Amino acid sequence: MNITDPRIAIVGVGRMGANMARRLKDVGATVAAVFDNRRGVAEELAAELGCAAPGTLAEVTAAADVILTVVTDDAAMRGIFGPVGDSLLSGAGGRTFINCATLSPAVHGEVAAACSAVGAQALEACMASSIQQAREGTLYLMVGGEESVFRKVGPILDSLSKSLRHVGGIGEAAKVKALVNMVMNINTAGLAEGLGLGAALGLDLAMLREVFSQTGANSRVLETDGGDMIDREHDCYFSAAHAAKDSGIANDLARQAGVAVPLSNATEAQYRKLIDLGRGELDKSAVAELTFPGRAGF
Amino acid sequence: MNITDPRIAIVGVGRMGANMARRLKDVGATVAAVFDNRRGVAEELAAELGCAAPGTLAEVTAAADVILTVVTDDAAMRGIFGPVGDSLLSGAGGRTFINCATLSPAVHGEVAAACSAVGAQALEACMASSIQQAREGTLYLMVGGEESVFRKVGPILDSLSKSLRHVGGIGEAAKVKALVNMVMNINTAGLAEGLGLGAALGLDLAMLREVFSQTGANSRVLETDGGDMIDREHDCYFSAAHAAKDSGIANDLARQAGVAVPLSNATEAQYRKLIDLGRGELDKSAVAELTFPGRAGF
């Protein structure tokens, strides 16, 4: 497959999906169609990219050879691959779906089976990266699915990522992704406790953050979220609602596997508290609003 | 003060204290005496260093100008600075104490006041480092206490550390140290959950660890403890019992300050569970024994 050959569609053009579409256009791929539940969002992006913005999922499938899906959660995923009504599965014979949302591993399996039943193929491509990396084609991509399908769409995946890894069969990448976000969220909620308690003790937080960075308390989230927690800068890169969802996926897997994960359970509870306070749309760094003195309740 | 001038004693010569004594000897300092509750341990080190191993704390104070204390916990610290019986305070006028144990901040304050009452001075010097760094004189040291005392013993502190920082008055360094270990312990217990669940899901753990290292799940403890958790290599660098103690200090501070720290509470509970299982002397990485399938109960 040459990157210019297949007609590509993107379903779910929030900030990640839209930037992936822009990147594909930049590298000369044929972006044929974009789709979003928010019709206006899709039409605006279609105008920018010079492509179609079909009104139905069946039309998306008709317009493309390879369809990337970047939806929010399990329910949305089941919605676009529904067995009845408007569905990406309509006339999907020969199509390849690359499913990029962070979902429960079992849902990737369900979707792949439904695709197979209509003569289509499915891969999961889990992203552990930011909106900016999507725009620049430097995503960290973990792919699950058949090796032959992975190789076939290799040029598309390559153009989106700087680090591409085939981790196993369908559902395996979602497991890895769930664990990455589980540990990231624990480290984030834990950092919020450390900095929040430091604030309560009257410590110099710039000093504390720097000491953390030079000791066993250092972490990637200290780099990305430490300053934001101190400055109450919670513009969304990865939302508290997403953090709750992803920790929830991991905690469900743990329950099924009989593994006790008390820290991850406590982390999910913190993020659910943010949602209950109506602040699920803030960045995950907003968990510090629950631990810094005088901030609670916003 | 020249590094060769003051007579130095070290009280509490476990692996950290012993390596600090060796390092001081290496740089030409006058190591006059070492002391430990385990008399044989002190005598062996004294023979190695060619110094005294007095049988009482009062003799230690008599033999030295500057006394470093490196004991295990609050109770041990109150024991060596007791108001009655054998005590470092006996004849301590003019002496300078450098207290290196990780203690509750309030205990550093008590000890400093008791020293002041007998005409001695006290600093706290909290270490966020390993036994190996103690041997090499590359400790990360955070010092609390009076600026003038800090300056006076500067050559001693410099010879022990590669990063030396005066963070404030007595008790302030202990607060920073408690927060460092609180966050480190959370990240460690959280990593154990991620790797343990990965094992339960049948994932390739070398792959998972490498993915963690390249994503938001990365942390210092992933570097130091990730492999040990997978390999069940729990030789002690920083014990589970110490982790429980230090998280406990932070959680007490949080209770007093009215800050909710659910992850740190869950972390302390995990380390207390290791102690209850009779495994408190293992390295903190042993928390993974609680989360990997088939390991529980050792």
User: Looking at chain B, which residue has its C-alpha nearest residue A208?
Assistant: B176
**Residue A267 pLDDT:** 98
Q: Considering the domain A175-290 in this protein, what is its CATH number?
A: 1.10.1040.10
- A81: helix, coil or strand? coil
| CA terminus-to-terminus distance, chain B | 52
The domains of chain A are located at 7-169, 175-290
Q: Are B157 and B140 in contact (CB under 8 A)?
A: no
- A58: helix, coil or strand? helix
**Which of A34, A79, A87, A97 minimizes the C-alpha distance to A57?**
A87
Does the pLDDT value for residue A297 go beyond 70? no
Chain B (187-206) residues lying within 8 Å, Cβ to Cβ, of chain A: 187, 189-191, 193-194, 196-198, 200-201, 203-204
Average confidence score pLDDT of chain B: 95
Which residues on B lie below 8 Å from A266 (Cβ)? 262-263, 265-266
pLDDT-derived band at B141, boundaries 50, 70, 90: very high
Architecture of the domain delimited by A7-169: 3-Layer(aba) Sandwich (3.40)
Does the pLDDT value for residue B64 go beyond 80? yes
Q: A263 touching B, CB under 8 A?
A: yes
Higher pLDDT among residues B238 and B268, named by residue: B268
Q: Do A180 and B217 touch (CB under 8 A)?
A: yes
Q: What is the DSSP string of B140-173?
A: EEEEES-HHHHHHTHHHHHHHEEEEEEEESTTHH
Architecture of the domain delimited by B7-170: 3-Layer(aba) Sandwich (3.40)
ipTM: 0.89
Distance in angstroms (rounded) separating the CA atoms of residues B217 and A182: 8
Which residues on A lie below 8 Å from B163 (Cβ)? 214
Q: Are B132 and B151 in contact (CB under 8 A)?
A: no
Q: Are B88 and B59 in contact (CB under 8 A)?
A: no
- B101: helix, coil or strand? coil
Does the pLDDT value for residue A1 go beyond 90? no
- Measure in Å the smallest separation between the Cα of A5 and chain B Cα atoms: 32
pTM more than 0.80: yes
**Residue A105 pLDDT:** 92
Written as six digits, the tokens of A172 are: 């395996």
User: Looking at chain B, which residue has its C-alpha nearest residue A202?
Assistant: B172
Measured in degrees and rounded to the nearest 5, phi and psi for residue B179 equal -70, -40
Chain A (206-225) residues lying within 8 Å, Cβ to Cβ, of chain B: 207-208, 211-212, 214-221, 224
Q: Are A285 and A233 in contact (CB under 8 A)?
A: yes
| CA terminus-to-terminus distance, chain A | 52
Distance in angstroms (rounded) separating the CA atoms of residues A177 and B182: 26
